[in-house]
Structure 1
């Protein structure tokens, strides 16, 4: 175990001031200037440089001490880029051994040289890889030969690499400090604490990865990509039931239709919607003013014809001429009797009564009072509340070749926690417009089981269960249908 590090109070104050400056930085450039220049008041060094490793892009020299802005074309900056790329590999693979001294330098250089250009490109293009977050000292012996050859032209003997990483371990780059004297453990510890503050501030400036970028990272060539593609392929062939949703309503099964017996105007409704009635209960009545007048006229004509026939019959006893008129009077009497009987029957039909027991099903009574109706027009239904069925309206666009015998489930709007299963009996062969103006097939279904059934008139959504299909077909069915209709193939 390493011995505890003692830090003076003055150093702690400087550390606190630099941390505050990092938190107050308004931009990434300001933060970089603070890291490579203002740290000199805390730790003595000759030169410093910041290597930025942004997400999904190769790294770059972002800041150099003593310069307001680094020039990518400058020889020193280009050599720094090569040195930093070597340090990235060193931090990822040899950081624990590099801190021990220069004894492992020859082995590190040999291994770095054998890695070649491919390893250099891989590390440079994967800045998000997890690396060691501990600062470590190094010399030219730890770097490849082509980089170490120019060390003395740019840097003094001793260098310190301070890696920057966020809380997930993703590399944000690093800062290198160089000077003539060797680095002490106290300085390494203090710069390590300061590096955590810098990394936290850099993470705040880092752009958020988009969904497309995350998808590209997930599908990078490798074992993870193969697993993801295999999982997607397996998911596409998972069988799922092909289901569609359709508006539905609980309707009466075999209701009795109450129609207008003759042409006229509805004068009064004696029942209310959903009212239970028994056989003989008055339902509604038509205006009888016209029929009553016709009955009065027919009755008067009948009385007149009967009196004329009686007088002619008396005269026919003594006069042969009146005997001939008696047959004519008899015909007029029979004609007036037929008209009187017909008018009486029509007048008796003005008041409509229930032919059987049930529940009166119709709209608001105010919609019928005073409304003119023609003979045979439907006014209301008499339904049995215990004998109900389900009527669903399957839109043409959602038709999945539904056939009788298929099951469906009703989810009432009034009770979202309840559901009722039914079996399809009939499917209309021709689509008709619904009250909402949507072309749909009328589907009739009978509720299965002997349990409780929904109340007459309940509306909801019916889920019609079809055949089993792959998940890819279930997801792409509607887009493919739209594409075929638009492209014509």
Structure 2
């Protein structure tokens, strides 16, 4: 159209200048790197968005100093530090880390691949890989060494053009400073987090708590009926086992009665002999004054012999020890009793009512200060560690004993609160003895402070 006619919006639009497009992408890319709050995000953004400026099939951000040089890889995959690819990166790193110049990594001929086999494999992969080493320098001053570099790949044999390299070199200074820029916001957040955690810890340690100590506990019978040895002798047979229910007059154990049987036979023979002599003297007493005078003495001899026979018969009857009250047998080691020598009055076993039990708690001597009559106790048995039973301390011993754990301890007894639980005598567990109120820090540090004081001798 001629004159002052209007142009069509489409036909009158000028195509964008490629240089302006590249410049806009360059600015957006560098701005994004500078605006990231975390160094990890800046590293990931660098390798994933550098292809917006030039063609890059894979980018790797490399740390020039220290261990584990691979920081980030295009796509966000794991940066394996012990792979063949990492070995190839390490080989190029050692060659160029002291240089601030961009370099196209030369291809390794096949006849020289043994010098760097991993790098040769990378260059042969993907139809031919061209690698550009781009140091992310921080200043034009050569004395200021860069901290990072980019490993950039083009696949299928595509070469690196000069204009692309020039653009990347311009971006290198911005990227170097973007990766090294201190993240004030992140440090502030970390500082705030540390302060908040410290305040929470102080509040936690200053919380008032109820002091407590733990000690091993064992279920024992309450007021059992003890079986004592009625006489001296050897226990020959044991008719009961621990935990067995017995009724009244059941035989519990039997003595070795061979000596008693021998003495009883001798006593019966002595009675017979004494009676025979008494009868003979009684018949001769009518005509013999000596026999008449000896007759009272012989009568006493007969009574003595009969008394000995009754004694040994009674002892023989006591060789079978019977139970006097129904209940459950409480006995530690039944096998050790058979063949053992018993003395009169020695406690052999006990018979207990299984519904009446109590607790025997071996409290370490270092925790005696927490013991008091009436103190509350929480019991957790080994057979049911997630369930607790309440009890109360009723008796505290005075003597220090060595517990099963070889710790100097004091014996304390406790009774159940409310209805006794369904437990068996001999069960073991842990008793938690509740003490007075204290601070959490004292509850936590009490035993370590005791150990330190003992070690230092204070």
Sort the TM-score into its range (normalised by shorter chain). Answer: 0.5 to 0.7
SS at match of 2:57: helix
For residues 293 and 398 of structure 2, the distance between their equivalents in structure 1, rounded to whole angstroms, comes to 67
State the 1:334 CA deviation: 2.2
Alignment of 1:39-438 (within 5 A): 50-51=137-138, 76=141, 160-163=173-176, 172-173=180-181, 227=196, 229-363=198-332, 365-438=334-407
SS at match of 1:333: helix
Out of 416, 435, 439, which is 1:447 matched to?
416
Q: Tell me the alpha carbon deviations over residues 273-298 of structure 1, each in whole angstroms, 9 at most, x when there is no partner.
A: 21111111111111110001000101
State the 1:251 CA deviation: 0.7
Kept in 2, the 8 Å contact 1:400–1:466? The answer is no
State the 1:340 CA deviation: 1.3
For residues 457 and 284 of structure 1, the distance between their equivalents in structure 2, rounded to whole angstroms, comes to 22
Kept in 1, the 8 Å contact 2:355–2:420? The answer is no
2:449 is matched with which residue? Answer: 480
Q: Cα distance 1:34–1:9, how it changes in 2: closer, same or farther (>3 A)?
A: farther
Count of aligned pairs: 344
Q: Cα distance 1:9–1:328, how it changes in 2: closer, same or farther (>3 A)?
A: closer
TM-score (norm 1): 0.60
SS at match of 2:259: helix
Q: Tell me the alpha carbon deviations over residues 293-340 of structure 1, each in whole angstroms, 9 at most, x when there is no partner.
A: 000101111111122222223323333322321222122222212211
SS at match of 2:175: strand
Q: Cα distance 1:254–1:26, how it changes in 2: closer, same or farther (>3 A)?
A: same
Q: Cα distance 1:254–1:219, how it changes in 2: closer, same or farther (>3 A)?
A: farther
For residues 171 and 429 of structure 2, the distance between their equivalents in structure 1, rounded to whole angstroms, comes to 79
Kept in 2, the 8 Å contact 1:242–1:466? The answer is yes
Question: 2:37 aligned with 1:37, yes or no?
Answer: no
For residues 419 and 349 of structure 1, the distance between their equivalents in structure 2, rounded to whole angstroms, comes to 46
State the 1:436 CA deviation: 4.2
For residues 189 and 279 of structure 2, the distance between their equivalents in structure 1, rounded to whole angstroms, comes to 112
State the 1:20 CA deviation: 8.4
TM-score (norm 2): 0.64
Q: Tell me the alpha carbon deviations over residues 140-161 of structure 1, each in whole angstroms, 9 at most, x when there is no partner.
A: xxxxxxxxxxxxxxxxx99952
Kept in 1, the 8 Å contact 2:243–2:329? The answer is yes
Q: Tell me the alpha carbon deviations over residues 66-103 of structure 1, each in whole angstroms, 9 at most, x when there is no partner.
A: xxxxxxxxxx467x59xx9xxxxxxxxxxxxxxxxxxx
Note the residue ranges of structure 2 that are not aligned, 5 or more in a row: 1-19, 27-48, 63-69, 74-85, 106-129, 148-166
Q: Cα distance 1:399–1:266, how it changes in 2: closer, same or farther (>3 A)?
A: same
State the 1:28 CA deviation: 11
For residues 158 and 274 of structure 1, the distance between their equivalents in structure 2, rounded to whole angstroms, comes to 87
Higher deviation after alignment, 17-26 or 288-297:
17-26
2:426 is matched with which residue? Answer: 457
State the 1:8 CA deviation: 12
SS at match of 1:429: strand
